[in-house]
């Protein structure tokens, strides 16, 4: 990282969740999920500070009780349409060059990925950066909840879709390695984030329900890092059991 780059990690943590209300404070092997996430995030060597952007005082109080150096909670409005808008409010008064939006429901987040994103942004060549992993099953390929990413040889994002892209026209064509699953972690230059949230949603975003398409629509230089691990997001009580099983094995 360049010494003059101040990098902040931001973890959006909403209280409301259709399938798991109060999700950030759901207990995972004896600790609230947001504590497990922050403990992973602070292992990243590139971060100067970590903010938890929330809409609920219970989460603010919980984060304060963890007493983790360099980590603080910031209260944001409850009516934000997306996590991107929430983190933009959270950093409005923060001095930083780059911020990294880390999902608040991934207690096994790899700190190395955060550092790789920070390194990409340190070059100054990119407005944003994100990640994608190979799609390995037909089920994931056809699942609209698994977002597909297509990118150029230098990593520039070309498009994201819930449909299967690229489409393989001819039967029998070897498409090994052609399909990639988008992973929802983003790095932004601070000024670009503020520009992005000032833009209205574009038609592509509204059709696909993918907010990263707004960035591409306005000409974003977005790098897609290639990774192997897709991580594990917690959306249901069953997911908590999966994470606890992994932690027990470790």
Please check whether residue 72 is in contact with residue 9, taking contact to mean a CB–CB distance below 8 angstroms. no
Q: What is the pLDDT of residue 36?
A: 95
Band (pLDDT 50/70/90 cuts) for residue 2 is very low
User: What is d(CA 66, CA 94) in angstroms, rounded to the nearest whole number?
Assistant: 22
User: What is d(CA 114, CA 122) in angstroms, rounded to the nearest whole number?
Assistant: 12
- What superfamily in CATH does domain 7-249 come from? Spore Coat Polysaccharide Biosynthesis Protein SpsA; Chain A (3.90.550.10)
- Domain range annotation of the chain: 7-249
Q: What is the pLDDT of residues 102-133, one digit of tens each?
A: 999 999 999 999 999 999 999 999 999 999 99
Q: What is the pLDDT of residue 164?
A: 97
Band (pLDDT 50/70/90 cuts) for residue 215 is very high
User: What is d(CA 148, CA 181) in angstroms, rounded to the nearest whole number?
Assistant: 5
Residue 191 pLDDT > 70: yes
Band (pLDDT 50/70/90 cuts) for residue 4 is low
Q: Where are the beta strands (DSSP E) in 63-203?
A: 71-75, 98-101, 128-134, 148-151, 157-161, 180-189
Question: What mean pLDDT comes out for the span 25-51?
Answer: 95
Q: Where are the beta strands (DSSP E) in the chain?
A: 7-13, 27-28, 31-32, 49-54, 71-75, 98-101, 128-134, 148-151, 157-161, 180-189, 222-226
Band (pLDDT 50/70/90 cuts) for residue 15 is confident
Q: What is the pLDDT of residue 20?
A: 78
Residue 206 pLDDT > 80: yes
Label residue 244 exposed, middle or buried (CB < 10 Å: 0-12, 13-18, 19+): middle
Please check whether residue 101 is in contact with residue 211, taking contact to mean a CB–CB distance below 8 angstroms. no
Residue 3 pLDDT > 60: no
Q: What is the pLDDT of residue 41?
A: 96
* Percent residues over pLDDT 70 in the chain: 98
Band (pLDDT 50/70/90 cuts) for residue 1 is very low
For the record, the structure tokens of 85 come out as 């808008």
Question: What mean pLDDT comes out for the span 168-196?
Answer: 94
Q: What is the pLDDT of residues 151-179, one digit of tens each?
A: 999 999 999 999 999 999 998 899 999 99
Band (pLDDT 50/70/90 cuts) for residue 94 is confident
């Amino acid at each position: 990282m360049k010494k003059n780059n101040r990098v902040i990690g931001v973890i959006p943590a909403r209280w409301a969740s259709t399938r798991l209300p109060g999700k950030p404070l759901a207990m995972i092997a004896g600790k609230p999920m947001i504590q497990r996430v922050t403990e992973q995030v602070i292992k990243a060597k590139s971060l100067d500070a970590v903010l938890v952007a929330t809409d609920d005082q219970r989460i603010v109080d919980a984060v304060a009780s963890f007493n983790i150096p360099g980590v603080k909670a910031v209260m944001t409005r409850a009516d934000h349409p997306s996590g991107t808008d929430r983190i933009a409010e959270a950093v409005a008064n923060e001095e930083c060059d780059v911020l990294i939006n880390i999902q608040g429901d991934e207690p096994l987040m790899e700190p190395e990925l955060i550092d790789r994103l920070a390194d990409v942004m340190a070059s100054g060549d990119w407005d944003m950066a994100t990640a994608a992993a190979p799609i390995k099953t037909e089920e994931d390929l056809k699942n609209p909840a698994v977002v597909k990413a297509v990118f150029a040889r230098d990593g520039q994002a070309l498009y994201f879709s819930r449909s299967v892209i690229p489409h393989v026209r001819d039967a029998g064509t070897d498409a090994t390695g052609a399909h990639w699953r988008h992973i929802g972690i983003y790095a932004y230059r601070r000024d670009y984030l503020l520009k992005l949230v000032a833009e209205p949603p574009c038609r592509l975003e509204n059709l696909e329900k993918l907010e990263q398409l707004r960035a591409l629509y306005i000409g974003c230089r977005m790098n897609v890092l290639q990774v192997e691990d897709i991580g594990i997001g917690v959306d249901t009580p069953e997911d908590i059991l999966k994470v606890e099983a992994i932690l027990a094995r470790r």
